[in-house]
Amino acid sequence: MCTTCGCGDETNTRVSTLDGIQPIVEHQHPHDHAHPHDHDHPHDHAHPHDHTHPHDHDHHPATITLEQNLLAKNDLLAARNRGWLAGRGIRALNIMSSPGAGKTTLLVRTLTDLGGHLQAGVIEGDQETSLDADRIRAVGRPVIQINTGAGCHLDADMLQRGLDALDPQPGSTVFVENVGNLVCPALFDLGETAKVVVISVTEGDDKPRKYPHMFMAADLVIVNKSDLLPYVDFDVDECLRQIREINPHADFLVLSATTGDGLAAWYAWLDGSTSRSNSLTESLSDAH
In tens, the pLDDT along 185-208 reads: 999 999 999 999 999 999 999 999
Q: What domains are defined for the chain?
A: 75-287 (3.40.50.300)
Average pLDDT over residues 145-167: 95
pTM of the entire predicted model: 0.77
pLDDT of 163 > 90? The answer is yes
Distance, CA of 233 to CA of 228 (rounded, Å): 10
In tens, the pLDDT along 13-69 reads: 778 786 654 444 333 333 444 444 444 444 444 444 444 444 444 545 665 565 667
In tens, the pLDDT along 60-102 reads: 566 556 566 778 999 999 999 999 999 999 999 999 999 999 9
Distance, CA of 136 to CA of 108 (rounded, Å): 6
Strand residue runs (E) in 108-200: 120-126, 143-147, 173-177, 194-200
In tens, the pLDDT along 115-129 reads: 989 999 999 999 999
- Please tell me whether residue 160 adopts helix, strand or coil conformation: helix
At how many degrees (to 10) do helices 131-138 and 103-114 cross?
Answer: 10
Count the helix, strand and coil residues of the chain and give each as a percent rounded to the nearest 5.
40, 15, 40
Distance, CA of 209 to CA of 192 (rounded, Å): 24
Sheet holding 14-16, edge to edge: 14-16, 143-147, 120-126, 173-177, 91-97, 194-200, 220-224, 251-254
Greater model confidence, 36 or 222: 222
In tens, the pLDDT along 241-265 reads: 999 999 999 999 999 999 999 999 9
Of 9-18, 89-98, 100-109, 214-223, least confident by mean pLDDT is 9-18
pLDDT of 219 > 70? The answer is yes
Q: What's the pLDDT at 34?
A: 47
Q: For residue 12, what pLDDT band results from cuts at 50, 70 and 90?
A: low
Q: What's the pLDDT at 150?
A: 83
Distance, CA of 184 to CA of 277 (rounded, Å): 30
